[in-house]
Structure 1
Amino acid sequence: MANLIVNGRSNTFKVKDEAAFREALSELDVVIHSSAEGVSLLTGDEGGWPNHDHEEDEPIDFLGIVSSHLAEGEVAVFVSAGWEKQRYVFGEAQAVNGAGEVIYVGTDSIYDMALKSFGIEPTRAEA
């Protein structure tokens, strides 16, 4: 069985209080980088953005946590890509604003786009 590998990073965005933001994310598997422009995040050792607490068997509202700390007028964008050997490759991006509104796009959307644009249903790029 192959391992699924996922890597991701965010854009740089400003938060209301960096210390409080770091505390809110302290138990999650993310890496926080600071710069004069704001903060950016990288996925941690587990890969992917946190979405489930395996010890407590509870979902994690990662985007909700980030949203609650965003400075006014900021949007956080999280981009990730993953693969399982060469059998399956994917990419996705999510964006969240301070009101908690989320948008999502995934590479799988290309199949519907191709069907609508060309009238031909393509085979999937997976083994």
Structure 2
Amino acid sequence: MGAENIIRVLRTKIKGLQNEMEALQVDRNKQTEACRKLQVKVKALEDRNKWQQQAGMLRDSLKKQEILHSSTVAKLTQQESENLSLNKELESVRRELRTTVQSYKANEVQLDRSLEELKKL
């Protein structure tokens, strides 16, 4: 009987250890799943941080482009103003040239008449 009691006690201990092992395995599985979920969250946060950094760089780039655009628009406005002024000056010179050409033709005609009168004399 002593051996049977020892066997019963040992079987009970084995059963208890098996139950404890199963509970530990369930706990380990829960912790593994929690760890996996945390890894997913960490990855998501890393991705979010990466996107935020990229967005910051894009904002900086956009600001630089806006400054460059403003500078270019100012230069364009200045060039358009200068172009308008030069076109007015060109038109004035053209009018003056037409007047000069007309005057020249009139003088040439007058000189031709005078030359013919001189030849007649």
Q: TM-score, normalised by structure 2?
A: 0.18
Q: Over alpha carbons, which structure has the higher Rg? A: 2
Q: Give 1 or 2: higher strand fraction.
A: 1
Q: Give 1 or 2: higher helix fraction.
A: 2
